[in-house]
Structure 1
Amino acid sequence: MGRAIAVANQKGGVGKTTTAINLSASLAELGQKVLVIDLDPQGNTTSGFGLNRNELEYTVYNLILGECKVEDCMKEDVIENLSIIPSSVDLAAAEIELIGVEGREFIIKRAIDEIKDDYDFIIIDCPPSLSMLTINAMTTADTVLVPIQCEYYALEGLTQLMHTINLVKGRLNPYLELEGVVFTMYDARTNLSLQVVENVKSNLKQNIYKTIIPRNIRLAESPSHGLPINLYDPKSTGAESYRLLAEEVIKRGKEEDEWQ
């Protein structure tokens, strides 16, 4: 059974999409079969894998409205071992179009349940808001991975996100857990980055990944080339960091399976 992980943080600019793209690509590089679902209307994960959002016949928007099946909108093997259900700007309207639709919180889950066994990992990039799309991601997911930027307001909004996770767990998905927190945009030259990491660790009695993603120019450049970092610059510190994170995610999953 595939492990579904929602990458979520309602605060924008924290490295959420960067993490969704590069964690997925690193898992694929390690031989895992990965499906990426781009649930962000901005579609940056879609373009980050080199797909032109304006040339797609079907996207996750059509899937949500019941206009196509999963296989119709899926782009298979965009890189080795990795397929994607792309997004487009139309997705911004989905929220309004779903008003009054029965079971709207479970639309993605119902579609993905049919193919979940075909993948080792399903990574869902959420929009930077606590919307119906994010709730769909959380009803589909087994766990939520939260990227946190190493900056002064890092903890702001995290309480709200934890509250949303607990609400979804209580009312819609009793199996939902926090996958963990991953620090992004870490700058070893500043005391602030170090203070933020220590602050979050002392305030958050949650899973915190050992791997910390540094600020890295190559990491920032790679999306404009439509390539994940492990293909754009395999030897960069950004690529190495996401490989380490992918190894940690795989290891944590195995430990959970043994524990269960």
Structure 2
Amino acid sequence: MPERIAFVSKVSFMASPASAGDREKVVSKLPGWLRQDLKVRTAQLGIEIQAAVTQGITDWCSLAATPTAVDTSGADSFSTWLPPGQWDTFKTTAADRKISLTQGLAQAVQLWLQKNPAPTVQRPENPRRIIVCNQKGGVGKTAITAGAGEAMAEDANALHPVRISKHFAAALLKNNDSESGGADAAPFAIEDLPGLGLRVLLVDFDPQCHLTQQLDHAPLPMDGDSLTKHMAGEPGGKLRDLIVPIEDDRFGDRLHLLPSCNDAFLLDVKLAGVRAREAALERALAPVESDFDVILVDCPPSLGLSMDAAAYYGRRRENEPAGSSGALIVVQAEDSSADAYALLTTQIEDLRADLSLDIDYLGIVVNHYDARRGYIATSSLAAWMDIRDPRVVGVIGDLKEQKEAVRVKQPLLAYAPKSDQAVGMRALAREIS
């Protein structure tokens, strides 16, 4: 740590010959709200805090008049690196304007924020459609559907911890020799990043209604309207009226759910008599698509007609970029998942060939991973990683937070936003966004 060599008012000046670009370290004070706004905005724009403060001070010193005062009550320690000589110029300007250095710095940061507004959320031209699937039950399709959707809907004007590693699965395997094991034992970088801020619809397409119940909603009544009835050409009203919000501050009004109904157990039978039955899900959801940026479909553990309809819905449409929509396959690090994966991909390939469709694979998610289960788990993960198309896009640990969130019927990212599973869901959302 370089030696502190001077104090001025509430600001101290520190020099470090080892700092990058021969910058000088300044320790000052900023109110917490302003420091947080600066942290969020620089993350949104992808620039360093020191660059923002440098530009803010430059612009502030060039002003012809002093800006409106900023409330600096409760200001706390704040440090950054400035180019040599800039702090002396700033001190002189603050003295000329007869304001404290803390007030001057707050005005400079506020000025930079005003000149650099938050970017608008980049919304797809057409809604992306992600079908979360595997004909094997119990692999955690529902958890992945909910977690990825929640991560996509988080506030873009707030920071959330995200696991950063382009080679997470490979690094995880190398870490399997650690004493604790498990997905949360790996020393991966965690970075605070802005939320994606997308408008998300979670579609519970499973007659077991797990997604609906886990998010604290009741299944739709058998004698009422449902997605099944809309797909069968027997709607009892508007599909939009069935959609409910997932209410939590971190999601704002961006996260919604289309609940399931137990009548979905009869869907394959009903679809057998429907014309162009493979397009039934698309026809049903078409009226609400424009309300959302991303639609995630929690598919049933089935290889029947309902899965055909889901795969068709996730196909690449005309003029849609490759990899925007498609199938996200959830597996576990064990042998039976491999058998189910083969059956599922065979069905998708048959549908591709029969109807001349482009159905993209968005990737494989290895769920419920725990290296402490030994060779079966680690060797299975290695086998999944050997698949290049689709590639592994996420590994989610088998940890207690997801089970607890289900028990209390709360979204995982609201119940345990800093848990290893939550930071992994955010990484997954970015991998497939």
Please confirm whether the aligned pair reaches a TM-score higher than 0.5, indicating the same fold: yes
Mark the CA change 1:207 to 1:14 in structure 2 (over 3 Å): closer, same or farther.
Answer: same
Residue in structure 1 matched with residue 396 of structure 2 by the alignment: 213
Instruction: State the match for 2:256 in structure 1.
Output: 83
Task: Classify the secondary structure of the residue corresponding to 1:153.
Answer: helix
For 1:113, the aligned partner's letter is: A
Find the residue that maps to 2:394 and give its secondary structure: coil
4+ residue runs of structure 1 moved beyond 4 angstroms? 54-57
* Correspondence for 1:179 among 357, 362, 369: 362
Task: Kindly state the Cα deviation for residue 44 of structure 1 after the two structures are TM-superposed.
Answer: 0.5
Please identify the structure whose Cα radius of gyration is greater: 2
TM-score, structure 2 normalization: 0.54
State whether residues 148 and 181 of structure 1, in contact with CA within 8 Å, keep that contact through their aligned partners in structure 2. yes
Corresponding position of 2:312: 139
2:414 counterpart of 1:231: yes
Is 1:69 equivalent to 2:238 in the alignment?
Answer: yes
Q: Structure 1: 5+ residue runs without aligned partners?
A: 251-260
CA distance in 2, matches of 1:242, 1:208: 16
Structure 2: gaps (5+ residues): 1-125, 155-194, 315-324
1:5 aligned to 2:130?
yes
For residues 200 and 356 of structure 2, the distance between their equivalents in structure 1, rounded to whole angstroms, comes to 22
The 1:206/1:61 distance shift into structure 2, 3 A limit, reads same
Quote the Cα distance in structure 2 between the aligned partners of 1:109 and 1:23.
21
Aligned to 2:289: 116
Q: TM-score, normalization: structure 1?
A: 0.88
> Structure 1 residues 173 and 40, CA, compared in 2 at 3 Å: closer, same or farther?
farther
Contact 1:41 1:87 in 2 (8 A): yes
Give me the whole-angstrom Cα distance separating, in 2, the residues matched to 1:120 and 1:172: 26
Contact persistence 2:133–2:141 (CA under 8 A): yes
**CA deviation vs aligned residue, 1:58-104 (integer Å, no higher than 9, x gap):** 33123223313321222245553111211011110122223222122
Does structure 1 residue 33 correspond to structure 2 residue 199? yes
Partner of 1:258: none
Q: Find 2:225's aligned residue among 58, 83, 88.
A: 58
Query: What corresponds to 1:195 in structure 2?
Result: 379
Distance 1:64 1:100 in 2: 11
Tell me whether 1:155 sits opposite 2:324 in the alignment.
no
What code does the residue aligned with 1:130 have? L
CA distance in 1, matches of 2:245, 2:229: 17
